Amino acid sequence: MRGSGGRASADAVRQRRRRLAELVSQRGTLSVDEIVAETGVSAMTAYRDIDALEEAGLLTRPQRGVVAASASRLSEVSAALRLEQHGTEKQQIAAAAAAVVRPGSSVLVDDSTSALWTLRALAGVPLTVVTNSLLVARELARTPTVRLLVTGGEYQPWAESLLGRTTLDMIAGVRADYCLLSASGISDDQCFHPYEDVAQVKRAMIASAEQPILLLDHTKFARRALHRFAALADFAHVVVDSRAPAPELAHLRERGVGVVVAPG
């Protein structure tokens, strides 16, 4: 805060809204009065936060004065939950994406669980992996065919990953053959994520990779999120599952996007 009457910094606002999203995810529903009591903000600020999280698709308002977790977006709050959602589709995507990655390559991997599934599909393939995800790091820690580099940064337990300036600086200092990442939502040929600090990592990885690969299950075409991090045309490959909507895929191909549809 800049003095008693100043506005909260952008970082403080993000942290407060993330905390609110986590509270609602844990409890299912919260009243505005409960939000005010839990966060210590005014009712006006609480409503602004609710509006922002609703716009990002994280919350819904089933009745006046009450907010609920959006079932389609709980995956952005909990990395462990996200890993298990849409497992069949993610395995399809992983197999197709793994076929693109050459043995001996270097790969940037963010906290996307679809990327983790892809690394599982690449088991036994020699790789250098650079990641900010502790889920990925734990998975690969005892893999003899993988040289593992973990970025620095501030640990965020909700994402099981490292974020912030240190993370971005390390990513900017490497040049990888590929990056593997996903999006929370697709709109107007653009990729979005609800949290700016995660979106920054995705931007940095795209900039540091020769061939960025986007891993996209069919549910993402019907979602919205707050922060843009890339255009679909920024990716060398956009790998989708067999249930991806045909009209959307036809549109992307017309725009020159390199779409790979995983077999069902």
For the chain, the average pLDDT equals 86
3-state SS assignment for residue 262: coil
Comparing 70 with 175, the larger pLDDT belongs to: 175
pLDDT, residue 68, reads 77
Kindly state the greatest CA–CA separation across the chain: 58
pLDDT, residue 87, reads 67
For residues 75 and 86, is the Cβ–Cβ distance under 8 A? no
d(CA 158, CA 61): 23
- β-partners of residue 221 are none
pLDDT, residue 260, reads 96
Residue 70 has φ and ψ, to the nearest 5°, of -85, 120
Q: What percent of the chain has pLDDT over 70?
A: 88
Indicate the burial class of 7 (C-beta count within 10 angstroms; 0-12, 13-18, 19 or more): exposed
pLDDT, residue 153, reads 97
The answer, yes or no, to whether residue 240 has pLDDT greater than 70, is yes
d(CA 255, CA 22): 37
State the angle between helix axes of 113-121 and 87-98 in degrees (0 to 180), rounded to the nearest 10.
Answer: 50
pLDDT, residue 259, reads 96
- β-partners of residue 65 are none
Residue type present at position 198: V
Comparing 157 with 102, the larger pLDDT belongs to: 102
Token pair in block for residue 172: 């900017």
pLDDT, residue 110, reads 96
pLDDT tens track for 108-142: 999 998 999 999 999 999 999 999 999 999 999 99
Comparing 79 with 94, the larger pLDDT belongs to: 94
Token pair in block for residue 264: 């069902």
pLDDT, residue 233, reads 94
Token pair in block for residue 12: 């403080």
Give me the half-sphere count of Cα atoms (radius 13 Å) on the Cβ side of residue 227.
Answer: 14
pLDDT, residue 8, reads 55
Measured at the CA of 230, the angle between CA 61 and CA 74, to 5 degrees, comes to 30
pLDDT tens track for 44-55: 999 999 988 887
pLDDT tens track for 6-39: 455 777 888 888 888 777 766 667 899 999 998 8
Global confidence as pTM: 0.72
pLDDT tens track for 151-205: 999 998 778 899 999 999 999 999 999 999 999 889 889 999 888 899 999 999 9
d(CA 168, CA 241): 30
For residues 124 and 98, is the Cβ–Cβ distance under 8 A? no
Domains of the chain by start residue, with CATH: 10-71 (1.10.10.10), 79-261 (3.40.50.1360)
